[in-house]
Amino acid sequence: MSDAILTARGLRKSYASGDRRLDVLNGVDLDVAKGESVSIRGESGSGKSTLLQLLAGLDAPDAGTLAWAGSADTGTKRRATFLGIVFQSFYLIPELNARENVLMARRILGRLDAAARARADELLAKVGLTERATHLSSQLSGGERQRVAVARALMNSPQLLLADEPTGNLDETTGDAVIELLLGLCAESQTALVLVTHNAAHARKTHRQLFLRGGSFAHG
């Protein structure tokens, strides 16, 4: 795929389990185009989160190759600008308010400026949290915390967003709202999205649906 934002070929990963190796991923291939949304489902323990860790460059495969927009550079510095990540457990810094948590994504790249602060305020408005910008995470609901996490993931205008069970800690109604927000913001900015989810209804909202079984993909 010539316009692929993400290209993975033959990704393999295994872990030690007692005196043997447990194969988790057995040659996964994946292409994701600019602005495309792809969902990945699978049974618990099928390797969905392991795969996302590899795609994010947070762990190295035992075999296979990974490229972001055609480049094999998947290091920490490039990660900060190329992709955003939304986790199930929010991972907000409790001592910081919503706006400060969003700004942390930019602070990693250096000093904050007026443009960065304006970008954070714009994103908080997009996720409906302008009035909650100065609230600590402990003062926010689960849905509000995840919306802060979505804004943080988009802070550096990434080309790719990875979301690992982003509704796993939310009730059904709140989870549906977060998925609609996530898909809407990615479509608006033409940010590619890889969504790992157990929820079949959420998966169907993406452009393409994949199912991880036996360490590799089957359409589902």
CA pair distance 175, 41, nearest whole angstrom: 16
With a cut of 60, say whether residue 220 has pLDDT above it: no
pLDDT tier at 1, thresholds 50, 70, 90: low
Quick one: DSSP state of residue 199? -
In a domain, 153, yes or no: yes
pLDDT at 2: 57
Whether 178 contacts 166, CB under 8 Å: yes
Over residues 183-196, the pLDDT tens digits come to 999 999 999 999 99
Domain count, the chain: 1
pLDDT greater at residue 44 or residue 82: 82
Q: What's the CATH code of the domain at 198?
A: 3.40.50.300
Over residues 57-107, the pLDDT tens digits come to 999 999 999 999 999 999 988 999 999 999 989 999 999 999 999 999 999
In a domain, 64, yes or no: no
Q: CA angle 92-93-97, nearest 5°?
A: 90
Over residues 136-181, the pLDDT tens digits come to 999 999 999 999 999 999 999 999 999 999 999 999 999 999 999 9
In a domain, 155, yes or no: yes
In a domain, 103, yes or no: yes
